[in-house]
Amino acid sequence: MPKLSIIMPSLNVHLYIKDCLESVIHQTLHDLEILCIDAGSTDGTWEILEKYAGKDNRIRLIRSPQKSYGYQMNLGIRESTGEYIGIVETDDFILPEMYQELYTYAKKNDAEFVKSDFNVFTTLPNGERLYLKYSLKKYSSAMYYTVFTSEDYFNDKNTVDIFAWNGIYRKSFLVKNHIQFQETPGAAFQDCGFRYQIALNVKRGFFLDRSFYCYRRDNTNSSTYNSKCVLFNLSECKNLIRIASQTGKTKKRQMEFLAREIAVIAHRPYIELLTWGQPEEGTKEALNEFRTILKNFINKGILNRMSVTENDWLAIRIFVDNPEFYDYYAHLKAEATAESVKLFLKDVISYKHVILFGSGYI
């Protein structure tokens, strides 16, 4: 049994796959298997994978019959033989010591998962890369180097960290708790339900303040920019409610946790979508479905002003009770954000030299 199985789902990423694979095969943790799950690439990605597989017997190539990120991930989990499972999306790359550090810490602490901070990067026209550390402590309820359980998620008003690929998971933990991805078509937001299934079941999870994973933000095909984000999030949330019911995760504290998280997912992404693009057809109907779900939570008493922050409760009530005003508010906030960015960029390009300082997180 290898110490770690790395699942790498791919579809038409020939521009990035070499850098990604190089970073994986040169991990300081050598005892691993690399599962490349390709969903029918036609741009040369598969041929690149074949060349690497011919040089490294740790690489296993698997063709996915479905163009579905969730299906690819579930196929990878089923096919994996490692003690732990890691995920590397094939337009990103990782630092050499990532899995050695995470695996060593996981074994020492008998962890079901170990996750860490990561680096967001973009590539300039001249090939230079700019990096920014993303702090889990800053943006979620994560506390470093201390055991995390489901109760910690239930007790905190902050949202959980929203990423699947910045850590490793014990395979037996995933299998025992039937934790899977939803197998909807495409590759957008299908890690949403996965992360909440982790949170509902974990007894020994850990976060590290080290940064190993390098997350690309200059791929215009990334799901981050998908105009269907509200529709995808709705599908994930409805599936999550179904899973909670099927697996008996319906105690009051568990449902309060899910209600709180779904409430945030219902309204925040819409504003971000308006900031950078235009919603897909069907977004209005999806938002109304979210409203029905939240009304049900409120009526049952599992979503209330004590379970979320004051700002979120205000936004939730406006979102649920006054859709027209919320839409006006969302457009106004998005326009203000976009305008502030435009003004900043206009100001920056007027200078010959720009010095950045204090731009990282401690």
DSSP codes of every residue in 129-192: EEEEEEPHHHHSS--BTS-B-HHHHHH-SSPPP--SSSEEEEHHHHHHTT------SBSSSTTH
Question: Max alpha carbon distance in the chain (Å)?
Answer: 61
Q: What is the pLDDT of residue 275?
A: 83
Q: What is the pLDDT of residue 221?
A: 58
- 311: number of CA atoms within 13 Å, CB side? 4
Q: What is the pLDDT of residue 356?
A: 61
For the chain, the C-alpha Rg in angstroms (whole number) is 21
Tokens 């995920």 correspond to 87
Q: What is the pLDDT of residue 6?
A: 98
Under 8 Å between Cβ of 48 and 125: no
Under 8 Å between Cβ of 214 and 236: no
- State the DSSP code for 68: B
Query: Average pLDDT for consecutive 10-residue bins of the chain (362 residues)?
Result: 97 96 98 97 97 97 96 97 98 97 98 96 85 88 91 81 93 96 83 91 95 84 69 92 92 93 88 82 93 96 90 92 92 87 77 61 41
Q: What is the pLDDT of residue 362?
A: 40
Q: What is the pLDDT of residue 361?
A: 42
Q: What is the pLDDT of residue 47?
A: 97
